[in-house]
Amino acid sequence: MASTNYHRASLRSERQIPTARGSVANASVRTKPASSKRSVAAGSLRASIDDENADSGRVRVAVRLRPKNAEDFPFDADFTDCVELQPELNRLKLRKNNWSSESYKFDEVFTESASQRRVYEAVAKPVVESILEGYNGTVMAYGQTGTGKTYTVGRLGKDDPSERGIMVRALEDIIANTNSNFDSVAVSYLQLYLESVQDLLAPEKTNIPIVEDPKTGEVSLPGASLVEIRDLDHSLELLQIGEANRYAANTKLNTESSRSHAILVVHVRRSLKKKEENDASSLASALNGDLPSFSMPIVQKSKLLVVDLAGSERIDKSGSEGHMLEEAKFINLSLTSLGKCINALAENGPHIPTRDSKLTRLLRDSFGGTARTSLIITIGPSARHYSETASTIMFGQRAMKIVNTIKLKEEVDYESLCRRLEYQIDYLTSDMDRQQKLRDTEKEQMEKKLKAYEVSLTDAEKKLVVKSEDFEKEKIHLELKIKSLLEELNTQKGENNHLFEEVVRLETCLKQSKQHQLENSTYQKILADTTQMYEKKITELLKHLEDKNSHYSTLEAQMTEMQQQLNDNQKLLQIKEKVIDELQQEMSKLNKEAESKIQSLEAQKNELLLRKESLNKELKALQEKLLYEEMQRRTLEDDIVKSKNALNDHSTELEYKRSHQMDSSIRSASVLGGALNTPKPNKSRETISTQRDTISKIFEEVGLSNIVGLLKSEDLDVQIHAVKMIANLAAEDMNQEKIVEEGGLDALLTLLESSENTSIHRVTAGALANLAMNGLNQDLIMSKGGARLLAHIASRTDDPQTLRMVAGAIANLCGNEKLRMMLKEDGGIKALLGMVRSGNNDVIAQIARGMANFAKCESRGIKQGYKRGRSLLIEDGALNWMISSSTTFSAPIRRHIELALCHLAQNEDNARDFVSNGGVKELVRISQESSREDMRNLASKALNSNPTFLAETRGV
Ligand SMILES: Nc1ncnc2c1ncn2[C@@H]1O[C@H](COP(=O)(O)OP(=O)(O)OP(=O)(O)O)[C@@H](O)[C@H]1O
């Protein structure tokens, strides 16, 4: 019922939002859906027929007229044909008699001479194009026996390829337009006869169950063989095997092919790369230019159904109107209910009975669903079959009114995404290492260069010092030389002055001599000689003076030259100092550059580390998601197995009933065979063992530590699912120790303490309740503060499911004698009593169970002599509630309360409380009215042995 409602809901929304895609049978694929930017690969298929309708999701219907055959001629000689085709108008005239006819319009009308190729291209090719673009599609042939359905759909054309029917041509197109490196094409080939699905590729498989995904409504046949196709020859081979098996099976069942439906299912899976837009955009932007650009691995899964229906005359025209319904159902329930569904859909009826037959369940996506559907109806020309032909035409007319909502089926390929992220991380890590190496080499080179600069600077400085010292020495030397030259010059000058003075003195003497000459002739000769002598001496002196002067000029020239040299040296020194300055400046610049480069490299390194960290986080989240999906898949598989069992039960039951109803002729033709004697399976036992198998399989394959790890996931759905898994596992004794060892108990308690989510509280309390069934775990739960946490949750929520789990967990802890005091101190008893406020019977049943457990432990303690004093339950105020409620609730709750009261009554120290709360009357009632003998005995024992009670009863 639920899935039918789901179907209805989708039907409504489909009608409100018809798609904008190109039409099916009668249109090219010029119009693409707004969401899909892809087109079919090069050499893609193109239908050549005009696009006259915009209602692209409508079921397209074509009609094909079979040529007259030998059978028709002898009978029809005196009659005109009952149909007249007007292909140019896409119309068909149905002639009832010579004076009355009706005209009907179809999406395509094929005359007797229409070729198989043209029929394929107009009817099936647009559907095949859609399949290649990721949409589901159906091509179906409907018509009276012998009108050419199998000829149109299933003909293999082994000897003449032009004779090939839709199945072969569709496979041919799909294979030619997919790439075997990325895509896969697989087929199942089935036959449906009397509500039994048989595998035509493995005929021993019969009664194959049809499974519907409760979430997506997707229909599948997990029991059928699914064979991956390698090439066209392989697909022809498979179709041939299917055809042979169909023939053999029908012969064995003593039936005709026209009474069974043949269904070819082609599954196409295409891998696409889609640029990331939302979630992964951060990742894409995080990758630097060196990385290949990031794209999302997407898989498109589509499914083509090619259906060769049974002969339609079997359902009679009444199939859709209700006459002779029982008979029609009996012969072929499937066609009857297909007719009803088509009617309801065409008339926008309030209920679409898709669940009435296996055929309609298989085709639920094809009519009123999300698939692109093309129907070809086949008719014969003979007037003898007027009523069958009219019925077929009306079927086609009604189907034309159905509008589907075509939907693209894409999903993210998480496994390959994960692989790619791991690759990205490897790439980034190696890139980081490479950059680090590059940085190290650069740094090394810089340091070497710096060292070389320092060495050359030190050399230059040393050389400068040596040069400066040489220069200083030379300077001192030159200065000394100049000084000595100056001194020599001065001496020379003094000498020259002295010679001058001598010359002047001699000239004076000469003048005096000349005067004396005049006075004294004697002295004339001497004078002449003396004069000569003096003249000679003077000449010599003058010459000497000249020599001295020239030496002096030489010295001066030498001095000028040395001065010049000194100036040159000073200039050289200045140039060298400038060079040293420049070198020092360059060196500090290089130092700065090296520092900034090292800083930027450090920043890059940090950035890369951050990126790696964020990628690792994302990878972890994805791995968690993968794990979560794996677990969901397993749960789904479990659901499928359960559904299968339920279906098997159901079909066995049905077959059983049917076998008793069938008359003898039908019984002989029945396909049920041995199933008639099949005993009813024990459903609950099988289901439980399957469930256990599934859980232990998940346990082994996923690993407990991984499941425990998921309790810390940031994704709430994952957390809830993980807690549920652990709760399921904890229900098995053998798993409990492992769960505690892997830290499951600690993680559950932490989750209960930290989470604010009600669902988490509920499922975690459930898991703890399961763990608390074991004595060792009870100690651990108490010592880790579990009772306090459970009491806290009990005080915060009014959700009956959560309270039931919490009460159940505490009730289990109540059964441990050693923990009674601790349980009271941690508020466990008060929490139990507090939950009474919920008024929910399930919660109260757990509370009563807990109190009975507690009271039983106390009474055992008294019997063994280590317990004294008033009951802790009574101290916390439970007695009053028990006495006032013992007759209020249903029998199981009452029994727990009565048990608790009987055990409390065994303790003398509780007697006063019983008396003051009116409990003695209640004990008397239990001793007389309780349904259980042990309880009656316990109550009587307390009443007869306790003096306080004896006194009270005497008073009563
Ligand atoms: N368009 C056609 N051209 C030539 N021959 C045809 C055509 N359609 C059908 N036939 C012939 O008519 C006969 C009956 O056709 P076919 O078996 O395909 O009918 P059917 O509707 O599938 O019958 P059934 O419901 O019994 O399976 C076959 O011999 C087939 O070759």
Taking the C-alpha atoms of residue 201 and residue 240, their distance in angstroms, rounded to an integer, is 10
Distance in Å, CA 69 to ligand 1 centroid: 10
Same domain, 473 and 357: no
Position 7 scores a pLDDT of 30
**Token digits for 379?**
């008719």
Position 376 scores a pLDDT of 98
Whole-number average pLDDT of the chain: 79
Q: Is 146 in the pocket of ligand 1 (CB under 6 A)?
A: yes
Q: What is the pLDDT of residues 113-152, one digit of tens each?
A: 999 999 999 999 999 999 999 999 999 999 998 899 999 9
Confidence category of residue 258, pLDDT binned at 50, 70, 90? low
Q: Is 828 in the pocket of ligand 1 (CB under 6 A)?
A: no
Position 672 scores a pLDDT of 28
Q: Is 260 in the pocket of ligand 1 (CB under 6 A)?
A: no
Q: What is the pLDDT of residues 304-333, one digit of tens each?
A: 999 999 887 644 443 434 444 443 454 567
**DSSP β-ladder status, 91-95 and 83-86:** antiparallel
Question: In the listed set 632, 656, 685, which residue is the last one of a domain according to the structure?
Answer: 632
Of 266, 262, 244, 302, whose CA–CA distance to 187 is shortest? 266
Position 169 scores a pLDDT of 97
Position 203 scores a pLDDT of 93
Top-confidence residue, 429 or 258: 429
Residue nearest to atom 9 of ligand 1 (CA): 148
Q: What is the pLDDT of residues 203-246, one digit of tens each?
A: 999 999 999 888 878 899 999 999 999 899 999 999 999 999 98
Question: In the listed set 632, 651, 680, which residue is the last one of a domain according to the structure?
Answer: 632
**Token digits for 673?**
């065979």
Position 254 scores a pLDDT of 58
Q: Is 165 in the pocket of ligand 1 (CB under 6 A)?
A: no
Residue pair 363/138 in contact by the 8 Å Cβ criterion: yes
Taking the C-alpha atoms of residue 292 and residue 719, their distance in angstroms, rounded to an integer, is 34
Of 404, 363, 376, 23, whose CA–CA distance to 166 is shortest? 376
CATH number at residue 359: 3.40.850.10
Taking the C-alpha atoms of residue 428 and residue 425, their distance in angstroms, rounded to an integer, is 5
Return the best residue to mutate from 65, 66, 315 for the ligand 1 pocket (most ligand atoms within 8 A of CB).
66
Residue 423's contacts (CB-CB under 8 Å, 6 or more residues apart) are none
Which amino acid, residue 802? T
Q: Is 142 in the pocket of ligand 1 (CB under 6 A)?
A: no
Task: Supply the ipTM of this predicted assembly.
Answer: 0.98
Distance in Å, CA 379 to ligand 1 centroid: 10
User: CB-based burial of residue 630 (10 Å sphere; 0-12 exposed, 13-18 middle, 19+ buried)?
Assistant: middle
Q: Please enumerate, as own/partner, the contacts of 352-360 that have beta carbons within 8 Å and a separation of 24 or more.
A: 352/4, 352/7, 352/8, 352/11, 353/4, 354/4, 354/7, 355/3, 355/4, 357/195, 357/333, 358/192, 358/195, 358/197, 358/210, 358/334, 359/192, 359/261, 359/334, 359/335, 360/334
Confidence category of residue 32, pLDDT binned at 50, 70, 90? very low
Same domain, 171 and 269: yes
Query: Range of 572's domain?
Result: 420-632
Confidence category of residue 189, pLDDT binned at 50, 70, 90? very high
Between 324-333, 499-508, 862-871, the lowest mean confidence (pLDDT) is in 324-333
Same domain, 154 and 302: yes
Q: Is 258 in the pocket of ligand 1 (CB under 6 A)?
A: yes
Of 597, 576, 624, whose CA–CA distance to 414 is shortest? 624
User: Taking 70 as the threshold, does the pLDDT of residue 860 lie above it?
Assistant: yes
Position 316 scores a pLDDT of 45
Position 268 scores a pLDDT of 95
The response to whether 147 counts as a known ligand-binding position is: yes
User: Taking 60 as the threshold, does the pLDDT of residue 477 lie above it?
Assistant: yes
Position 35 scores a pLDDT of 31
Residue pair 214/632 in contact by the 8 Å Cβ criterion: no
Between 248-252, 750-754, 816-820, 836-840, the lowest mean confidence (pLDDT) is in 248-252
Distance in Å, CA 328 to ligand 1 centroid: 23
Top-confidence residue, 377 or 565: 377
DSSP state of 314: G
Distance in Å, CA 859 to ligand 1 centroid: 87
Cα–Cα separations (whole angstroms), residue 92 to 104, 313, 381: 5, 20, 12
Position 380 scores a pLDDT of 92
User: Taking 70 as the threshold, does the pLDDT of residue 290 lie above it?
Assistant: no
User: Taking 80 as the threshold, does the pLDDT of residue 941 lie above it?
Assistant: yes
| pTM of the predicted model as reported, rounded to 2 decimal places | 0.46
Residue 69 CA: nearest ligand 1 atom is: 12
Cα-flanking dihedrals φ and ψ of residue 778, to 5°? -60, -45
Top-confidence residue, 945 or 25: 945
* C-alpha neighbours within 13 Å on the C-beta side of residue 420: 19
Is 847 part of any domain? yes
Same domain, 902 and 860: yes
Same domain, 856 and 799: yes
Return the best residue to mutate from 68, 150, 158 for the ligand 1 pocket (most ligand atoms within 8 A of CB).
150
Distance in Å, CA 362 to ligand 1 centroid: 25
Is 764 part of any domain? no
Q: Is 292 in the pocket of ligand 1 (CB under 6 A)?
A: no
CA 670 to chain centre: 47
Q: Is 392 in the pocket of ligand 1 (CB under 6 A)?
A: no
**Stretch 591-607: mean pLDDT, rounded?**
85
Taking the C-alpha atoms of residue 162 and residue 169, their distance in angstroms, rounded to an integer, is 10
Taking the C-alpha atoms of residue 616 and residue 618, their distance in angstroms, rounded to an integer, is 5
Is 172 part of any domain? yes
Taking the C-alpha atoms of residue 332 and residue 297, their distance in angstroms, rounded to an integer, is 45
Cα–Cα separations (whole angstroms), residue 146 to 149, 169, 388: 8, 22, 12
Same domain, 165 and 190: yes
Tell which phi-psi region holds residue 192, choosing left (phi > 0), alpha (psi between -120 and 50) or beta. Answer: beta
Cα–Cα separations (whole angstroms), residue 526 to 520, 531, 540, 592: 10, 8, 20, 98
Of 390, 530, 531, 451, whose CA–CA distance to 100 is shortest? 390
E-strand spans in 733-886?
A: none
Percentage of residues in the chain with pLDDT exceeding 90?
Answer: 33
Position 646 scores a pLDDT of 64
User: Taking 50 as the threshold, does the pLDDT of residue 737 lie above it?
Assistant: yes
Is 673 part of any domain? no
Same domain, 496 and 382: no
Between 283-297, 514-528, 859-873, the lowest mean confidence (pLDDT) is in 283-297
Same domain, 135 and 154: yes
Position 428 scores a pLDDT of 84
Position 698 scores a pLDDT of 65
Same domain, 501 and 611: yes
Position 378 scores a pLDDT of 96
**Stretch 775-799: mean pLDDT, rounded?**
93
The response to whether 632 counts as a known ligand-binding position is: no
Same domain, 480 and 522: yes
Q: Is 147 in the pocket of ligand 1 (CB under 6 A)?
A: yes
Cα-flanking dihedrals φ and ψ of residue 287, to 5°? -85, 135
Position 588 scores a pLDDT of 85
DSSP annotation string for 538-593 = HHHHHHHHHHHHHHHHHHHHHHHHHHHHHHHHHHHHHHHHHHHHHHHHHHHHHHHH
Is 754 part of any domain? no
Which amino acid, residue 225? S
Is 676 part of any domain? no
User: Taking 50 as the threshold, does the pLDDT of residue 514 lie above it?
Assistant: yes
Top-confidence residue, 867 or 493: 493
Position 539 scores a pLDDT of 83
- When divided into structural domains, the chain yields a total of 3
Three-class SS state of 749: helix
CATH number at residue 827: 1.25.10.10
Position 664 scores a pLDDT of 37
The response to whether 148 counts as a known ligand-binding position is: yes
Residue pair 274/38 in contact by the 8 Å Cβ criterion: no
Confidence category of residue 743, pLDDT binned at 50, 70, 90? very high
Is 577 part of any domain? yes
Q: Is 314 in the pocket of ligand 1 (CB under 6 A)?
A: no
Confidence category of residue 256, pLDDT binned at 50, 70, 90? low
The response to whether 150 counts as a known ligand-binding position is: yes
Residue pair 816/778 in contact by the 8 Å Cβ criterion: yes
Position 292 scores a pLDDT of 53
Question: In the listed set 597, 632, 667, which residue is the last one of a domain according to the structure?
Answer: 632
CA 451 to chain centre: 56
Distance in Å, CA 397 to ligand 1 centroid: 22
Q: Is 111 in the pocket of ligand 1 (CB under 6 A)?
A: no
Q: Is 919 in the pocket of ligand 1 (CB under 6 A)?
A: no
Q: Is 312 in the pocket of ligand 1 (CB under 6 A)?
A: no
**Token digits for 447?**
């340091």
**Stretch 850-879: mean pLDDT, rounded?**
87
Taking the C-alpha atoms of residue 544 and residue 555, their distance in angstroms, rounded to an integer, is 17
The response to whether 144 counts as a known ligand-binding position is: yes
Cα–Cα separations (whole angstroms), residue 115 to 125, 152, 309, 810: 14, 10, 21, 78
Same domain, 609 and 514: yes
Same domain, 485 and 505: yes
Position 869 scores a pLDDT of 87
Is 242 part of any domain? yes
**Stretch 891-895: mean pLDDT, rounded?**
86
The response to whether 146 counts as a known ligand-binding position is: yes
